[in-house]
Structure formats: structure tokens, C-alpha cells
Structure 1
């Protein structure tokens, strides 16, 4: 029996790898779904905060609140080794550049049961792409 477990996820996409009673750790590795030009929705979790930690690459954490049924975006260019929290009931997504890796910590099985989507209109997508692209080009 090992006293210390080690994990390294290399495959693209979202991979919950450590699920325990009440919480889970996942790794999100770049996949083209998270390329800014491909983001078509926001999601929300009603029963958990969601923590993000950038391991490598470039990523922008996207938050949004709705005013008159339209999203108002708030963004954070993620820095490695900084812990970012998206509180429960907050619309969000993440834009990633190729090669990026992010750790995500949240309530267990959130990816199976606790999510709702808002699909972006063409105008909302255009605004989001412009804002994220500007932020990514700052560095």
C-alpha cells in the first residue's frame, strides 16, 4: 500500500482523476473546445465553487453576470501557481492556448450533475473573442 499517490494527466481535455467523498480534483489540458474562437457557451454550478490553478501555458478565466439578459464579462489572465476561485452561481468558462494545463478543484461529480449552460449569441461570442484576444496579446 502506497502512502503517497502521484498523478500526471497528459491527454487532451477534462479529466477528473481524484474523486473523494465531497470533492474532486481534475486536470484540464488544452483541447480545441477551449480555443477562444471555439467557445460557444458559459456554464454555472449551483452547488459548488470551482478552483482553477494554471500549471503551464496561457489561459484566461472568464466570468460573467447578466444584466438585462446579456452577459457582462469579467476576465483574468491566469498566472501560474495562483489559485483562482469562481464562486458558486457564477457563469464562467476558460479560454486556453495550445499546450496549456489547468488543475480544477470542486465538489465531487460536479461534471456529471451540477451544471447549466448559456449558449452565446453570435454578438456575445464576437464580444468575448475580442476581449479575450486583447487580454492574451497584452503579454
Structure 2
């Protein structure tokens, strides 16, 4: 079949990789990476110009969301269910952790970049809270 009719993409590496880009949006796959283990998460990120959609395709993933403007005042954790769309709203602080077999589909604006996606260092107390939340949710996962 001509590539002008259909493209196919796969990604087996660690972490995040853009796979399809259009003028307005892009699709990426995010796989497990050890730096996103709960005790390794040291910062949150937010996207100030776009929402970001996450879809768990396989494995297990927990989203961590931070309430607050210039600082995170409260942390929430959400176990992702497979094939459910999770829309992280614009300017919401977030991070994630996943199992080694996890694959997460991500859709976001094509112009999402470090210039419009600030990062925030977490306090030691916030890092401990993330580790505790993850442990509780991992136990619930089985």
C-alpha cells in the first residue's frame, strides 16, 4: 500500500516519543522509564496552552495531579483504567508513574514545548506524599 494512503508507527523504547504530527496536534506513545518511579519523581510539569489527553493501552499507570497556581497546594492520584480518556486540563501540574509493561497514548497540541510547559520542583514532603499515594494505589491494583 502506498505511504500516501496510510502511515503506521510503533515505539518500543523507554519514555516519551512523538509519532504523528499534524499542524495542530500530535500523538505520542509513552512507555515505562525508571526516572518516573514514585521515589524518583522530583517535579511536576504543566502545559499553559493546551489540555493533554492520556489513554492507558496496557499495563498500569498512575497520574499525579497538583492543585494550585504558582505552587502545588494539594496532590491527587488517579489510577488509570485501560482505554479510558483522561484529559488533564490546561495549566494543571502533573506527573505519572507506570509499570514496566505500560504503554500510554498521549494527544496534545503540536506546539507544546518547554517554552510553554513550566516545571516545578517538589518539596521533600510532596515527594514523600507521591510515594505514599503510589504505594496505596499499587497495592489496590494487585
TM-score by length of 1: 0.93
Within 5 Å, give how 1:38-53 maps onto structure 2.
38-53=40-55
* Counterpart in the other structure of 1:133: 135
Residue 60 of structure 1 and its aligned partner are, at CA, apart by: 0.3
Aligned to 2:84: 82
CA distance, structure 2, for counterparts of residue 26 and residue 130 of structure 1: 29
Give the SS at the match of 1:21.
coil
Is there any run of 5+ residues in structure 1 with no aligned partner, and where? none
Tell me if structure 1 keeps the 8 A contact 2:53–2:107: yes
Matched, 1:117 2:119: yes
RMSD: 1.6
Match of 1:28 in 2: 30
Give the total of aligned pairs: 139
Q: What's the CA shift for 1:69?
A: 4.4
Match of 2:73 in 1: 71
Q: Which structure carries more strand by proportion?
A: 1
- Secondary structure in 2 matching 1:130: helix
* Contact 2:71 2:120 (C-alpha < 8 Å) held by counterparts: no
Alpha-carbon distance in 1 for matches of 2:115, 2:57? 26
Instruction: Give the ranges of 4+ consecutive aligned residues of structure 1 lying more than 4 Å apart after TM superposition.
Output: 67-70
How far apart in 1 are the matches of 2:129 and 2:99? 18
TM-score (norm: length of structure 2) = 0.91
Cα contact 1:71–1:124 (8 A) shared by 2: no
